[in-house]
Amino acid sequence: MSPPDPTPPRRPGKPHDGSARASAIGFGVLFFLVALNWAAIHFGWIAVPPNTIPWEPPKLDARPGLFAHLQMQHLLHDRQACLSALDHASDLAYTPLADVSPSEGCGFTDVVRATHTPIAFDTAPVATCALTAALYWWQRDLQSIAQRELHTSIRRIDQEGTYACRNVDSALMGPRSEHATANAIDVEAFETADGRRITVARDWGKPSDEGRFLRAAHDSACGVFGEVLGPDYDKFHAGHFHLDEAAWLICR
């Protein structure tokens, strides 16, 4: 028979008291640092680059940051903030349009017609305010891409349309397309200042200056739009880039 254990029994929880106190202190310090950082930014005690704070309206004349998509989603649901962002863009003019609700799942709100953009369109886009803001960011980046890959500038963008009351891929059944709310645009070609016409259908994937420009333009779009779909996605997008401001992120 074993002798009795002289060690008194431990009360439940005692071994963890020290670690619990340490965790509480660590959480308190973390909360204090987060609060201090927020206050420093909110009250302007420290300067941060434009478009680095996700909850602030975007500055469209500055480069987009890591939270560009979150900022565009905010604009999509805040008409006044979105129109204010467009108003402060130096190379943009637009006309607000009346809301339209023709049928179930179709129609649009907070839509504008972009009458002047950094790069001209063959047809002035009629799109949600948020999509117009994203297009502005993308067009400004396109010029630097064109200079690098094509050694010229882009003079015009050809588009296939924005608003269309239809389902995804024009299917008879299924979810509505972002086009059904004017929250998408299909871009098919780019015309350069030196007279070239670069098309997605002909030049995508080619080992040429034009092919490299299209790839870089596609990748740039992924930084500001929710969905970017091109020829690598499926046969329905073989001849254009589909760009929209959906809540989810797809870059194909």
- Strand residue runs (E) in 19-92: none
In the block, residue with structure tokens 């990748």: 219
Rg (CA), the chain: 26
User: What tens digit of pLDDT does each residue of 191-234 get?
Assistant: 999 999 999 999 999 999 999 999 999 999 999 999 999 999 99
Residues 6+ apart with CB under 8 A from 206: none
**Of residues 213 and 24, more confidently modeled:** 213
The per-residue pLDDT for 34 is 46
**According to the model, what pLDDT value does residue 243 have?**
98
Strand partners, 10: none
State CA 147 to chain mean position distance. 23
**What residues contact residue 139 under an 8 Å CB cut-off, 6+ apart?**
117, 118, 119, 157
How many CA atoms lie within 13 Å of 149's alpha carbon, on the beta-carbon side? 20
Residue with more model confidence, 250 or 36: 250
Tell whether pTM > 0.85: no
Calpha distance 199→183 (Å, rounded): 23
Give me the percent of the chain exceeding a pLDDT of 70: 81
Is residue 2 pLDDT above 60, yes or no?
no
CB-count burial class (<10 Å; 0-12, 13-18, 19+) for 250: middle
Quote the tokens at residue 109.
Answer: 């709100």
Question: What is the residue-averaged pLDDT of the chain?
Answer: 87
Measured CA to CA, the distance from residue 187 to residue 27 in angstroms comes to 49
The pLDDT of residue 48 is 74
Which tens digits make up the pLDDT trace of 94-142? 999 999 888 788 999 999 999 999 999 999 999 999 999 999 999 999 9
**Mean pLDDT confidence for 161-184:** 91
